Amino acid sequence: MDFAVSDNAEQHRFEIRVGGERAGMAFYRLDGDSIVFTHTEVESSFEGQGVGSKLANGALTLAKDRGLTIVAQCPFIAAYLKKHPELAQGA
């Protein structure tokens, strides 16, 4: 599966594209040096294919690389961080 995660800063969300089609989004808001993940969605046609995990990994990696403190209000992102604490900078 060919996928890419990017930051759509104008819409305050990370997006994952699979084969060029938007498959999911992780919404956030910036608060100083923190990024607050508020909600994650995966399109129904992509559910059960690991797209949400790839989205979470990509979004958290991009946020961490920017030196942002991660705040996980979204239950999906919070659960992902519990499994992958190395991505939990400041969480």
Rounded to an integer, the average pLDDT of 56-71 is 95
Q: What are phi and psi of 2, to 5 degrees?
A: -90, 120
* For residue 84, pLDDT beyond 90: yes
Q: d(Cα 3, Cα 39) in Å, to the nearest integer? A: 20
Rounded to an integer, the average pLDDT of 62-83 is 96
Query: Domains of the chain, with CATH numbers?
Result: 3-87 (3.40.630.30)
- Confidence category of residue 66, pLDDT binned at 50, 70, 90: very high
- Determine what percent of the chain is predicted with pLDDT higher than 90: 90
Taking only the tens place, the pLDDT of each residue in 17-32 is 999 999 999 999 999 9
Find the DSSP H helices in the chain: 51-65, 75-83
